[in-house]
Amino acid sequence: MSHNNHLKGFLINQTYHLHDYLQRYYHLERDPLGRMKRSGASFTSKVKDMQIFFGLNATGILDSDTLGVMGSPRCGVPDVEEYSHIQGTRWKRNVITYRYTRDLTRSTVDSLIDSAFSVWARASGLTFVRLHGRNADIMVEFVTFGGFNLLHGDLYPFDGPRGTLAHAFGPGLGVGGDTHFDDDERWTAGDAGFNLRVVAAHEFGHALGLKHSKNPESLMFPNYRTNRPANLLSREDIANIRALYNPVRVQLTPWLPGSLFPRLMQDRCAPDMTFDAVTTVGDATFFFRERYFDRCLHAQYNFEIETSIHAAFWIPRRSTAYLIHGSLVKGKPRALTHFGFPAWVQDVDAAVHIVKTARTLFFMHDIYWSYNENRKVMDFGYPKYISEDFPGINTTVNAAFHKEGFIYFFVGPQVYKFDYTQKHVVGVETANSWLGCSNTV
């Protein structure tokens, strides 16, 4: 066969693989005439969707990084919604049964499957019970590509060694919860081949109702990774499973200042004074600590409130302050997800609105988000690391507010004055100095 024929065959195989990948995981529509094209708005759009998901440069062009990701062994569940029951549903009970079948019934396989379930049990409080009958909630099967198991009953066939390793369905009746492994893979308990415990734990996340994560550190990241911590779950995974099975309601309530009952904030000038939230409201600045807040204008006023506030920000054009966690006035609170946060974000440490850019910044641990108040959407590419965009702020932020081109970051008992235009810290003072105390750093 000539070199040109070899090249032509390679390109045809590659094109088939790319179309198959995008059809499986990103809903690329099949051409009714069976044609495969690597051009056109639909194909380019799906390539961009895939690049965005994996944090690649979203050009729509099949560069080496994109092809490398597409060629990695991975989970068979799509990265966009499709599979029945995935995400948004949960098992309605806390004891979930499972059963699996396999040609090799070694004790090692028993141990790895049990261990994979225990990863989620520790994080969620769920109990998993193995059954030997046929009526388990989660049916675990090892099936092959060829022979009678070509479709293994769910219309999502495997593809032989590598490629798709396994797939699972979210909670529900019928196939709900069922988890299938490609028996053509080399399943192991170590680093050689594919670690069954790692892949099983990922798939059981789907079986419990979780979808894929864009975070490579998450167990729910779709591509297989060999280097995983012993406990497997990231902070994101733990927050997601708890949000699904142990929901903690974090509420955000619009608030217009009104009269409240006065109460003295204790030890206001203590050198270790810290604040939970700070925000400007017009010309005044409000400082929140536990169930109290101070108003700083030309004099100080102290008020007791109904609940603690974790973060606060003021949007002048709406004449409205937003208080995260708790309610100060009657009305229906809005969930934090109103801003487009992923489900695993159950609270934030600080928030600040920048009038000039119409952005509200939300800070949590070592990362932050940017919300576009004009378009009502979270800006693309977030979260980002705080230390990268705010050099000199290298720890958790307790509170923040913006005034005259500066962001004031409250970190413990200190306040960092950050030049938002020049991107550097220009001064440090004590938090209690904002209440008229004379302490200095």
From the annotation, which residues make up the binding site?
A: 75, 103, 137, 152, 154, 159-160, 167, 176, 178, 180, 182-183, 185, 202, 206, 212, 220, 276, 312, 351
Instruction: List the structure tokens of 89.
Output: 């549903």
> Quick one: which H or E segment has residue 418?
strand 414-419
Instruction: List the structure tokens of 328.
Output: 């100060």
Domain ranges across the chain: 3-71, 95-245, 251-435
Whether 388 sits among the annotated catalytic residues: the reply is no
Domain 251-435 is in which class?
A: mainly beta
Question: Distance of alpha carbon 152 from its chain centroid, rounded?
Answer: 32
**From CA 278, how far away is CA 294, in angstroms rounded?**
10
Instruction: List the structure tokens of 316.
Output: 């002048």
**From CA 339, how far away is CA 206, in angstroms rounded?**
25
Give the residue carrying structure tokens 């030997």. Answer: 132
> Quick one: which H or E segment has residue 48?
helix 41-53
Cis peptide before 157 (omega within 30 of 0): no
The residue annotated as part of the active site, out of 82, 203, 217, 373, is 203
From the annotation, which residues make up the binding site for Ca(2+)?
A: 103, 137, 159-160, 176, 178, 182-183, 185, 276, 312, 351
CB atoms within 10 A of CB 330: 6
Backbone dihedral region for residue 331 (phi beyond 0: left; psi -120 to 50: alpha; all else: beta): left
**From CA 57, how far away is CA 48, in angstroms rounded?**
8
Instruction: List the structure tokens of 301.
Output: 């006023």
**3-71, CATH topology level:** Muramoyl-pentapeptide Carboxypeptidase; domain 1 (1.10.101)
- What pLDDT tens digit does each residue of the chain (441 aa) get? 444 444 344 444 555 567 888 888 888 876 654 454 555 568 888 888 888 888 888 888 888 888 888 888 889 888 876 433 334 577 887 788 777 655 445 678 888 999 999 999 988 888 888 887 667 889 888 887 654 444 556 667 777 788 889 999 888 888 888 899 988 888 888 888 899 999 999 999 999 999 888 888 899 999 998 888 888 998 888 888 887 887 544 444 444 444 333 333 446 677 777 888 888 777 677 787 765 555 443 334 344 445 567 888 888 877 777 888 633 322 345 667 777 887 777 778 899 999 889 999 999 888 899 999 888 888 888 888 888 899 988 888 999 989 888 999 998 888 899 998 888 898 898 888 887 776 544
From the annotation, which residues make up the binding site for Zn(2+)?
A: 75, 152, 154, 167, 180, 202, 206, 212, 220
Nearest to 417 by CA among 402, 438, 396: 402
pTM beyond 0.75: no
**From CA 279, how far away is CA 285, in angstroms rounded?**
6
* Domain 95-245 annotated CATH 3.40.390.10: yes
Length of the chain as a residue count: 441
Angle between helix 3-26 and 41-53 (nearest 10) = 70
Q: Cβ distance 355 to 420 under 8 Å?
A: no
Residue 18's pLDDT is 79
